[in-house]
Amino acid sequence: MTYMEASTSFKQDLLLREYGRNVQDLVNYITKVEDRQERTRLSQLLINLMAKLNPQLRDTQDYQQKLWNHLFVMSGSTLDVDAPYPLSAMEYLNDKPQPMEYPLSTPKYKHYGQNVELLVQRATELTDPQERDAAIISIGKLMKTLYKSYNKENITDDVILGDIREISNGQLDMNLAYIESNNLFESNLGSNRQQQDNSYQQRPQNQNPRNKKSNRSSNQRNK
């Protein structure tokens, strides 16, 4: 009984923060009204007010019943009215947050992450040789990019290919010489950006047609 009273008091304090002291004072007044019909009428009016003060509650299921339960808790479980729902403080007092799901498995290669292992697993299910090679190339590019961002250093293609073999339990493999000669594990994003930067730096300064026109007109004036 002591635990129940302590829990009720604790929940009253939490609800007081949502609705304010004035609502609590109204609840205290309603509980002292002797006429049951009048208590019911005033309680319904107070429920309408509580719904406006706590509008986010409308997004939850059975929010009207929750409002009545809140009112019942704020009255110290003493409210005696003709409510449209059965009033219960225990349902509100015993509510618990939903348990969160935590990953039960840890990826073997943390710098690649579990998603890469899932991609490798999906690639092993491919039956077409060309699709499987394309998947290996895409995964290799991704693994090389992730490794560089995680370790801040370069990694060779043979290491990437070896990791793919190990993660796939030997089911995925390609010719290393073919990969290296064609730079298949190299991402094109960095090289394209570098080419754009180099072309911008090598571009002559006076390529603007307006500059040519203005220079020509100025030369004519000087003549």
Which residue ranges make up each domain of the chain?
2-93, 114-189
pLDDT attached to residue 98? 58
131 vs 6, higher pLDDT: 131
Contacts (Cβ under 8 Å, ≥6 apart) of 103: 114
In angstroms, rounded to a whole number, what is the distance separating the alpha carbons of residues 95 and 207?
Answer: 72
CB neighbour class for 71 (10 Å; exposed up to 12, middle 13-18, buried from 19) = buried
State the pLDDT at residue 1.
36
For every residue of 17-30, DSSP letters joined together read HHH-HHHHHHHHHH
Helix (H, G, I), strand (E, B) or coil at 102: coil
Read off the amino acid at residue 34: E
Res. 76 pLDDT band, cuts 50 70 90: confident
Higher pLDDT, 10 or 81: 81
pLDDT at 65 over 80: yes
**Residues in Cβ contact with 116 at an 8 Å cutoff, skipping those fewer than 6 apart:** 107, 109, 139, 142, 143, 146, 167
Rounded to the nearest integer, the mean pLDDT of the chain is 76
